[in-house]
Amino acid sequence: MYPWGMDLARMLEKCEREQWSVDDLDWSGTPRAMSAEDERAIVQYFTDMAGIERLAGALFEEQQRRAEDPKLRRIFESFVKDELRHAEAAERLARFYDQRRLERYEMSPSLVRFAPHFIASVRYLSAEIANAYITCGELILDIALLRSINDFVGDAMSERAMDLINRDESRHIAVDFHMISYYGSQEYLDKLTEEPRAPLSQRVRALWSFAHVLYYGAPFFRAVFFKPMQVVDPTGRRMKEAIKRIQLLSKKPSVRRSRFIHVMERVQEYYNESPLVRSLFGRAIERLMGVDPELISKLYTDAERERAARMSYDELAAEALSAKLA
């Protein structure tokens, strides 16, 4: 047991015990009747989902490379397998629902453009920044996108696959929160002070890749996350819940030690509290944050913030996981 939370041996055992195969599912059924418009939307959602899952696999592969604890390396290795399996399941679901062959489906161009720069930025940027982005993406994917798509599909085949995918994603989020806790620990901060500064060439590559993430990030999130959510979750309830969980996590005292989190938090505060800043720099801030204006606003109450600050990371992870089932 680590002083900042998770029993990695138990988590590793769970990761290995809960492995499954796409072939375990019965693909012999027939999809529910649906309109041509719904069929197009559903097949495109699963096509993009396959790309998102492969991107997540590449990110976990980078975390596996960086992990020093052998049990943590094996956990991330299992996560890579999970995400590749999810991608295969999404591709199979796309083919399953592509009944009328109405068009040729390809991944969203914004996803294709964004993915290599995001992977590069995770490779070159500091571990805590990379993990912050990974955690945010997993929360949006798990709490909002996957469950909303599954509800929209409204079919037994999707339900069976998504139940297994969500079980895997629950483990991912639990470990994401564990890593957030670690990167805010005094042990990690002490370690950072002992590390030599990265070579100039590496710092330039990091800035270059991160600049591309910022440039391509907003179109990616809009096309692959927010635009589909307007269809499958028109009230915006689940997306706001996911963003609220991200905001509350950023309010933990140890998380706020991160200079990156601190800067992003101040930018958000200026955007919400200063009409002048919003007027002059609103579009740039929206691009930096990668979300729509309504999701930059404060989505939690002061009581929720104070409660989150007192909670452990395990408790916050458990509450985030319960939110996706609400």
pLDDT in tens, 284-302: 888 777 777 788 888 999 9
SS3 content of the chain, % helix, strand, coil (to 5): 80, 0, 20
d(CA 98, CA 64): 35
* CATH class in words for 9-15+35-189+197-323: mainly alpha
The per-residue pLDDT for 283 is 82
Percent of the chain beyond pLDDT 90?
A: 49
Angle subtended by helix axes 156-183 and 313-323, to nearest 10: 160
Mean pLDDT of all residues in 87-103: 97
Three-class SS state of 42? helix
Of the ranges 51-65, 139-153, 181-195, 217-231, which one carries the lowest mean pLDDT score? 181-195
Mean pLDDT of all residues in 207-213: 86
The per-residue pLDDT for 263 is 80
Residue-wise pLDDT tens digits, 99-153 = 999 999 999 999 999 999 988 888 887 778 788 888 888 899 888 999 999 999 9
Nearest to 229 by CA among 48, 100, 31, 97: 48
The per-residue pLDDT for 259 is 72
Of the ranges 43-52, 74-83, 90-99, 206-215, which one carries the lowest mean pLDDT score? 206-215
Nearest to 242 by CA among 304, 158, 321, 153: 321
The per-residue pLDDT for 19 is 97
The per-residue pLDDT for 326 is 65
The per-residue pLDDT for 272 is 87
Question: Mean pLDDT for the chain?
Answer: 89
- What are the distances in angstroms from CA 179 to CA 6, 40, 128, 133, 135? 9, 38, 8, 12, 9
Phi first, then psi: what are they for 296, rounded to 5°? Answer: -85, -20
Name the pLDDT band for 3 (thresholds 50, 70, 90): very low
The per-residue pLDDT for 2 is 42
pLDDT at 43 over 60: yes
d(CA 129, CA 36): 42
The per-residue pLDDT for 269 is 86
Nearest to 122 by CA among 201, 193, 8, 205: 205
Residue 186: which residues within 8 A CB-CB, separation 6 or more?
A: none
Three-class SS state of 198? coil
d(CA 19, CA 165): 10
pLDDT at 1 over 50: no
